[in-house]
């Protein structure tokens, strides 16, 4: 079979197995990151610049990813199918780039070069059809990871081409690829998601695996300069920055339920768990509900921690030892580990997410191909080589068929959020997100008895955040079912005071507050809930700069205002704004509160501060600022209404 025919067939199968899930809904982080800001733009309330530059996910805001979402919305509105279809198209494009990259590398591999094209096709097929990719492809917001992977692959292809050109003696052309094309691809990847910065490190892995061996001549000076300029120098600067300002790194752990050392101990376990899921995938266990991955509290808690650390060290040493004999194994392990260097090391992200393997998984499959290739070579040397070849062909087809069926099954589940949440709750009983989503689905269907059981189970999970959310959720359920919350349930909310708060508590408080804005719930007034939130936030052992803190205060301010207590609302809004990290909209809201209660001077002071911090593209807040400024200039005595659209941008839980 010709490689082109096989590749086209593979791409067609990939599209077919994913097609069933393209009609699925927006999920989890999609609404705050995409639906709300883009809908505001489509309604003419904001400019496209706010959507493009206003995303708060990651250090750089991921503008190229946001641009792709804007393009989807401009052409087809906010229908999920075109968004998911675009994700699938990017997935197919990444598969093509992986194939192109592997063909070039494996042709340099003494062990695998004879079957380089076939092996590259098989690895690409496994990568494209593996069910672990479903939670990236069909989760719309994870296009950020996909686009970053796309540009990373382009950068790696540019590097390999440039190195081959240099080997041919065309130094100037090769340097153009290394010093222009690779940095350009790196920049584009970073503007999609920050781990695009790993391109030079991934190039170093390829250099050591396929260009720098004992049998070859030393690298030219231009290659050395490339790595000094684009890898060693940035790595040194970043290391020195965090060494001089460790608080910049450690501050992120204030909102986590684990420490830096606990995260570092946990990640070897996570990496081996990823490898296990890649080699022996169990479809129902895969997905987005991975917050049940427990942190390692010590080297022996759990015991797998120490074994994972030892195993990881052994894997690295083994890969280095066989670098020249099995370059695919060395390169594969290197690509996997370096690909996780940003999201699975010191940065205060969540412990575990499948989408982090989107590109690094190629490394696992490449390393596996090296091991299998060595065994296959021995089988084909025997007297029964023809029979072995037939068996291997049947085995390869069977494996790909099973992967395709598993991915089809996963995509089918992703078509409906209720089925996704139900399966997640069943397969991940200790996942707070899975249980919470399942309870929400049951409440939406007015299955209150079943929802109560799920919330009660949620409270029993060994996770402080899950306990907090369950307590708040139980009050919400009582209000929803009976329009009355029991005093005991309300009192249990107050016992959260003194514990760490995360985004999960803030979002659940927000949901309960939104219910109270529209409905009555006996024993729980808006002001009562606002006071509960205020007391809990006041007692939280965390800096006021955290999103969970200032957004909770803003929720309390809204509740007080809706209950007719503007002074109390102003106090909470002021504390939120004084954090220095709150959205511009919080400052606008505070200035309007001061104006509403007649404190014109404070309104002017806050408005001046807001004017310095508002972005030039933030049309919505600029209009609000201009409107209030005109009222202040005219010294109007009429109280100013608080427009409903004045609200901070919704908190997203990305990056994860």
Q: Does a structural domain hold residue 484?
A: no
Q: Does a structural domain hold residue 472?
A: no
Residue 58 confidence (pLDDT): 78
Residue 641 confidence (pLDDT): 53
The domain tally of the chain equals: 2
Percent of the chain past pLDDT 70, that is, above it, reads: 94
Boundary residue ending a domain (411, 426, 457): 411
Residue 379 confidence (pLDDT): 67
Percent of the chain past pLDDT 90, that is, above it, reads: 74
Spatial neighbors of 299 by CB under 8 A, at least 6 apart, are 265, 305, 306, 309
Boundary residue ending a domain (389, 411, 433): 411
Residue 113 confidence (pLDDT): 87
pLDDT range class, residue 40, cuts 50, 70, 90: confident
Residue 654 confidence (pLDDT): 42
How far, CA to CA in Å, does 614 sit from each of 6, 54, 277, 648?
A: 54, 11, 45, 12
- For 485-507, what is each residue's pLDDT tens digit? 999 999 999 999 999 999 999 99
Q: Distance between CA 152 and CA 182 in Å, rounded?
A: 9
Q: Distance between CA 645 and CA 631 in Å, rounded?
A: 19
Q: Distance between CA 133 and CA 278 in Å, rounded?
A: 10
Spatial neighbors of 525 by CB under 8 A, at least 6 apart, are 516, 563
- For 542-600, what is each residue's pLDDT tens digit? 999 999 999 999 999 999 999 999 999 999 999 999 988 899 999 999 999 999 998 99
Residue 653 confidence (pLDDT): 43
Residue 393 confidence (pLDDT): 83
Q: Show contacts of 72-75: CB within 8 Å, 24+ apart.
A: 73/38, 73/41, 73/42
At 350 the three-state DSSP class reads coil
Q: Does a structural domain hold residue 458?
A: no
- What residue numbers bound the domain in which 206 lies? 3-411
Residue 540 confidence (pLDDT): 94
547 cis-preceded (ω within 30 degrees of 0): no
Q: Does a structural domain hold residue 226?
A: yes
Given a cut of 60, whether residue 636 has pLDDT beyond it is: no
Q: Are 262 and 295 in contact (CB under 8 A)?
A: yes
Any idea of the CA torsion for 364, 30, 461, 444, to the nearest 10 degrees?
-140
302 cis-preceded (ω within 30 degrees of 0): yes
Residue 647 confidence (pLDDT): 52
Q: Distance between CA 453 and CA 148 in Å, rounded?
A: 41
Spatial neighbors of 441 by CB under 8 A, at least 6 apart, are 417, 418, 421, 422
- For 374-427, what is each residue's pLDDT tens digit? 777 666 676 666 777 788 888 889 999 999 999 999 999 999 888 888 999 999
- For 331-373, what is each residue's pLDDT tens digit? 999 999 999 999 999 999 999 999 999 999 999 999 999 999 8
Given a cut of 50, whether residue 262 has pLDDT beyond it is: yes
Residue 648 confidence (pLDDT): 58
Residue 298 bridge partners (DSSP): 301
pLDDT range class, residue 44, cuts 50, 70, 90: confident
Boundary residue ending a domain (395, 411, 427): 411
Q: Does a structural domain hold residue 31?
A: yes
655 cis-preceded (ω within 30 degrees of 0): yes
**Angle 615-621-622 from CA coordinates, rounded to 5°:** 70
Q: Does a structural domain hold residue 319?
A: yes
Q: Distance between CA 103 and CA 113 in Å, rounded?
A: 9
Residue 639 confidence (pLDDT): 53
- For 125-170, what is each residue's pLDDT tens digit? 999 999 999 999 999 999 999 999 999 999 999 999 999 999 888 9
By C-alpha distance, which of 300, 62, 295, 77 is closest to 193?
A: 62
Q: Are 90 and 150 in contact (CB under 8 A)?
A: yes
Q: Does a structural domain hold residue 120?
A: yes
pLDDT range class, residue 27, cuts 50, 70, 90: confident
Q: Does a structural domain hold residue 477?
A: no
- For 308-333, what is each residue's pLDDT tens digit? 999 999 999 999 999 999 999 999 99
Given a cut of 90, whether residue 271 has pLDDT beyond it is: yes
CA 174 to chain centre: 35
């Amino acid at each position: 079979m010709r490689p082109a025919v096989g590749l086209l067939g593979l791409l067609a199968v990939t599209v077919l197995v994913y097609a069933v899930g393209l009609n699925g809904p927006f999920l989890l982080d999609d609404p705050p990151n995409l639906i709300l800001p883009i809908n505001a733009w489509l309604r003419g309330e904001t400019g496209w610049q706010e959507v493009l530059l206003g995303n708060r996910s990651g250090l750089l805001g991921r503008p190229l990813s946001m641009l792709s979402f804007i393009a989807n919305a401009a052409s087809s509105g906010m229908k999920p199918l075109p968004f998911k279809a675009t994700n699938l198209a990017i997935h197919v494009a990444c598969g093509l780039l992986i194939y192109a990259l592997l063909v070039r590398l494996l042709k340099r591999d003494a062990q695998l070069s004879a079957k380089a094209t076939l092996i590259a096709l098989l690895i690409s097929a496994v990568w494209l059809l593996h069910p672990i990719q479903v939670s990236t492809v069909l989760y719309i917001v994870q296009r950020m990871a996909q686009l970053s992977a796309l540009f990373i692959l382009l950068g790696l292809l540019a590097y390999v081409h440039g190195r081959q050109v240099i080997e041919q003696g065309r130094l100037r052309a090769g340097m153009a690829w290394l010093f222009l094309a690779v940095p350009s691809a790196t920049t584009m990847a970073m503007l999609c998601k920050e781990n695009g910065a790993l391109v030079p490190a991934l190039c170093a892995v390829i250099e050591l695996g396929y260009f720098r061996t004992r049998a070859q001549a030393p690298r030219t000076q231009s290659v050395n300069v490339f790595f000094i300029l684009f890898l060693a120098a940035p790595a040194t600067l970043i290391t020195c920055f965090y060494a001089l300002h460790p608080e910049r790194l450690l501050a992120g752990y204030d909102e986590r339920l684990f420490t830096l050392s606990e995260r570092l101990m946990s990640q070897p376990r996570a990496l081996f768990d990823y490898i296990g899921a890649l080699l022996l995938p169990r479809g129902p266990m895969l997905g987005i509900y991975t917050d049940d991955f427990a942190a390692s509290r010590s080297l022996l808690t759990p015991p797998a921690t120490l074994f994972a650390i030892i195993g990881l060290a052994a894997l690295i040493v083994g890969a280095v030892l066989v670098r020249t004999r099995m370059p695919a194994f060395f390169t594969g392990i290197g690509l996997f580990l370096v690909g996780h260097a940003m999201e699975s090391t010191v940065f205060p992200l969540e412990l575990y997410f499948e989408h982090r393997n989107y590109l690094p998984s190629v490394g696992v499959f490449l390393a596996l191909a090296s091991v299998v290739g060595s065994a296959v070579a021995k089988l084909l040397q025997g007297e029964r080589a023809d029979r072995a070849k037939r068996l291997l062909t049947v085995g390869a087809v069977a494996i790909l068929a099973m992967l395709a069926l598993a991915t089809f099954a996963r995509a089918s589940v992703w078509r409906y959020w209720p089925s996704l949440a139900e399966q997640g709750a069943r397969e991940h009983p200790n996942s707070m997100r899975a249980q919470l989503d399942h309870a929400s689905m049951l409440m939406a269907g007015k299955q209150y008895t079943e929802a109560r059981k799920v919330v009660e189970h949620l409270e029993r999970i060994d996770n402080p955040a899950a306990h907090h959310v369950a307590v708040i959720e139980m009050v919400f359920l009582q209000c929803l079912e009976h329009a009355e919350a029991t005093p005991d349930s309300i009192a249990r909310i107050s016992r959260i005071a003194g514990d760490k708060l995360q985004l999960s508590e803030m979002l659940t408080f927000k949901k309960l507050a939104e219910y109270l804005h529209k409905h009555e719930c006996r024993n729980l007034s808006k002001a009562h809930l606002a006071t509960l939130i205020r007391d809990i936030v006041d007692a939280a052992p965390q800096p006021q700069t955290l999103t969970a803190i200032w957004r909770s205060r803003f929720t309390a301010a809204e509740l007080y205002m809706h209950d007719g207590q503007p002074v109390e609302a102003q106090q909470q809004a002021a504390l939120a704004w004084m954090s220095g990290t709150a959205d511009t909209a919080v400052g606008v809201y505070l200035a309007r509160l001061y104006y509403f209660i007649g404190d014109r001077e404070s309104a002017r002071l806050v408005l001046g501060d807001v004017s310095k911090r508002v972005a030039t593209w933030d049309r919505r807040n600029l209009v609000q600022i201009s409107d209030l400024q005109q009222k202040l200039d005219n010294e109007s005595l009429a109280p100013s209404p608080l427009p409903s659209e004045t609200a901070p941008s919704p908190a997203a839980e990305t990056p994860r």
